[in-house]
Amino acid sequence: MLDIRQIEEARTRIGDSVFFSPCAYSRVLSDRAGCAVHLKLENLQMTGSFKERGACNKLLCMTATERSRGVIAASAGNHAQGVAFHAARLGIDATIVMPETTPLVKVASTRRWGAKVVLHGANFEAAHAEARRIERRDGNVFVHAFDDDDVIAGQGTIGLELVEQCADLDAVVVAVGGGGLLAGVAIAIKARHPRIQVFGVESSAAASMQAALAAGAPTDVPPAETIADGIAVRQVGARPLEIASTHVDGLVSVDDEEIAESVLVLLEEEKTVAEGAGAAPLAAVLQSKLPLSGKRVAVVVCGGNIDVNLVARMIDRGLRRSGRLMRARVRLPDVPGALASLLAVLGRTGANVLEVHHDRVGAQVDLRQVVVELALETRGFSHISEVRKAMSAEGYVCS
């Protein structure tokens, strides 16, 4: 099994090539979570993700002969960019197979770093199979995203940094996809301070590490869609599983609504952009899914590569979940002044109208009526209740 010595060697090896990311204390998040929250901002890496640590270490461990063969990898985005960036820096040809559903921003960034991108399949597993086929055909060196000791050792350098940056740390919370990050950090943390707890957070749509631990072996979970695409891995690696079974203190899951709210909190309160996978650990902390009350906690914000269109949708979800956005559907008589009367009622409640949409031709719309769909800015769930009561008092039926 991988040990702390290999992680220490990886740190020395990649030290001049990878950013020593800050670990910032957040007073606002600490007050909300009931524990001292420190954010390890891996979204500030050159490629926007922790993944380049493992990729860089793997490439630097390769022999000259191996480098001359070129490398190939499969990735949903972040590992792709890490491999592409450091391969270009080291003069190594790189081919990356990415799922056809990969966010455009990650595909474009991977190409920008100089790699050849092959889009194949609907998920990581299909892309992985295609990359392995190309490996056999062309003789490239395969760089696994998580089931590789050199890659895990590179990710583990985060753990070494954390114990130096956060004195008296009690717990570390890490996102889990294939398990490489969790495994590397857990080995480093437990070797330095065995008392520090290490927790993993998965998307509830793809809780493959929990399934593997229950089965005692890597196990496929059903394919699923999630905004945390970076950790939507159907089967964890054998090496990460072995490490997690002895070094990790607990695993929990978060759903897309909780992740979206966490992305919004990071944007508003910390002025930092996180992708779904990067925000998942904070979601678990804010939702009190872990025994962290009163403790000093490091949350690894592992990536920030998110499509701007998805950001908009996640903000919308986050606002609705926190009671700051209300959507209402109201039937009105199709006569002059009907909409103005409704808006006057809303104005008295203090709700701010963001959008108004009229539907006169829908299948369920009476010929003498119009359905009005409204998006309202509100101050919380109690305010939403006030708005609904005010509308009901005036005879409006809101759905």
pLDDT recorded at residue 276: 94
Residue with the bigger pLDDT between 17 and 397: it is 17
Please tell me the distance from the alpha carbon of residue 84 to that of residue 129, in angstroms, as a whole number.
19
Classify residue 171 by its DSSP letter: E
For position 364, what pLDDT does the model report?
A: 67
pLDDT tens, residue by residue, 254-265: 999 999 999 999
pLDDT at 385 over 70: yes
d(CA 58, CA 56): 5
The stretch 393-399 carries a mean pLDDT of 87
The CA R_g of the chain, rounded to the nearest whole Å, is 24
**Is it the case that residue 225 has pLDDT exceeding 60?**
yes
pLDDT value of position 3: 95
Q: Give the pLDDT of residue 362.
A: 62
pLDDT digits (tens, 9 = 90+) for 231-241: 999 999 999 99
Q: List the single range of 116-120, 124-128, 130-134 with lowest mean pLDDT.
A: 124-128
Whole-prediction pTM value? Answer: 0.88
Residue 398 DSSP class: B
Structural domains of the chain, with CATH? 4-49+154-319 (3.40.50.1100), 51-142 (3.40.50.1100), 323-393 (3.30.70.260)
* Least trusted range by pLDDT, from 94-108, 136-150, 358-372: 358-372
pLDDT > 80? residue 111? yes
Task: Give the whole-number percent of the chain exceeding pLDDT 70.
Answer: 99
Mean pLDDT, residues 225-248 = 94
User: What contacts 13, CB < 8 A, 6 or more positions away?
Assistant: 56, 57, 60, 61
CA distances from 231 to 184, 210, 279, 280, 284 (A): 16, 13, 11, 9, 15
Tell me: pLDDT of 92 over 80.
yes
Q: pLDDT tens for residues 33-73?
A: 999 999 999 999 999 999 999 999 999 999 999 999 999 99
> Using 50, 70 and 90 to split pLDDT, how confident is the model at 354?
very high
Instruction: Dump pLDDT digits (tens) for 274-303.
Output: 999 999 999 999 999 999 999 999 999 999
| pLDDT grade for 250, boundaries at 50, 70 and 90 | very high
Say if residue 182's pLDDT is above 90.
Answer: yes
Ranges of H-type helices in the chain: 4-14, 27-33, 51-61, 64-68, 78-90, 104-112, 124-138, 149-165, 180-192, 208-215, 238-247, 256-270, 276-286, 308-321, 338-349, 381-393
Mean pLDDT rounded to a whole number for the chain: 94
> Which pLDDT value is given to residue 206?
94
Say what the pLDDT of residue 76 is.
Answer: 78
pLDDT over 90 (residue 168): yes
Q: Which of 288, 256, 289, 292 is nearest to 275 (CA)?
A: 256
pLDDT at 18 over 90: yes
CB atoms within 10 A of CB 28: 12
Q: Which of 304, 269, 261 is nearest to 286 (CA)?
A: 261
pLDDT over threshold 60, residue 363: no
